[in-house]
C-alpha cells in the first residue's frame, strides 16, 4: 500500500484562561506558552499516530459544542476544562455523551490548591484524570489514549 495509514483524530480541548499559558501565574502553570503546548501536543500526537486538533476557548457554549462534535464523530478527547471543571453541569452533561475515551487533564494538582478546586464535575464521566504534572499532564493523557485505543 503506497498510502500511509490515516492518523486518528484526537481533540485536545482547553477551557478559560489556558490561552494565557506562559504569562498566567507561571509559578502555578509553568513557563510554557500556549503555542508551546500546541506544538508539544502535535509532536507527540504524530509520534503516537494521532492527528491532534488543539483548541482553546473562554466560552462555555463553544466547549460544549466541541464535546458534541466529539461525541457525534466518536473522537477521543483530552480536556482541560479550566474553571469550568468545578461548576459547569452543561459541560459535564456534554462530556457524558462521549462515544470514545475522554481524559480530563490539569496542569496543577487541584487537590493541592484552594478547596473550591477539589471538586470536578467532569471526573465522574471521564475515562480518567491526569493532574499535577505541568504540561506533562497532556503528554501522559495522550499516551493513555494511545494505550486505551490499542495503539
The response to whether 17 counts as a known ligand-binding position is: no
Contact, 34 vs 77, CB < 8 A? no
3-state secondary structure 45-74: HHHHCEEEEEEECCCHHHHHHHHHHHHHHC
Tell whether 118 is in a known binding site.
no
Does residue 107 have a known ligand-binding role? yes
Joined together, the cell numbers standing for residue 111 give 487537590
Task: Read off φ and ψ for residue 131, nearest 5 degrees.
Answer: -150, 150
CB atoms within 10 A of CB 35: 12
- Catalytic (active-site) positions: 29, 106
Q: Do the annotations mark residue 80 as ligand-binding? A: yes
Give the residue ranges of the annotated binding site: 80, 86, 93, 107-108, 117
Give the residue ranges of the annotated binding site for substrate: 80, 86, 93, 107-108, 117
Amino acid at each position: 500500500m503506497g498510502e500511509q495509514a490515516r492518523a486518528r483524530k484526537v481533540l485536545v480541548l482547553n477551557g478559560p484562561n489556558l490561552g494565557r499559558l506562559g504569562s498566567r501565574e507561571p509559578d502555578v502553570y509553568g513557563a510554557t506558552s500556549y503555542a508551546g503546548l500546541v506544538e508539544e501536543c502535535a509532536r507527540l500526537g504524530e509520534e503516537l499516530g494521532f492527528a491532534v486538533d488543539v483548541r482553546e476557548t473562554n466560552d462555555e457554549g463553544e466547549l460544549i459544542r466541541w464535546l458534541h462534535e466529539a461525541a457525534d464523530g466518536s473522537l477521543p478527547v483530552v480536556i482541560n476544562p479550566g474553571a469550568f471543571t468545578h461548576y459547569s453541569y452543561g459541560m459535564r452533561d456534554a462530556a457524558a455523551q462521549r462515544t470514545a475515551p475522554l481524559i480530563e487533564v490539569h496542569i496543577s494538582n487541584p487537590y493541592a490548591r484552594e478547596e473550591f478546586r477539589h471538586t470536578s464535575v467532569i471526573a465522574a464521566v471521564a475515562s480518567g484524570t491526569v493532574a499535577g504534572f505541568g504540561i506533562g499532564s497532556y503528554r501522559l493523557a495522550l499516551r493513555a489514549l494511545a494505550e486505551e485505543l490499542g495503539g
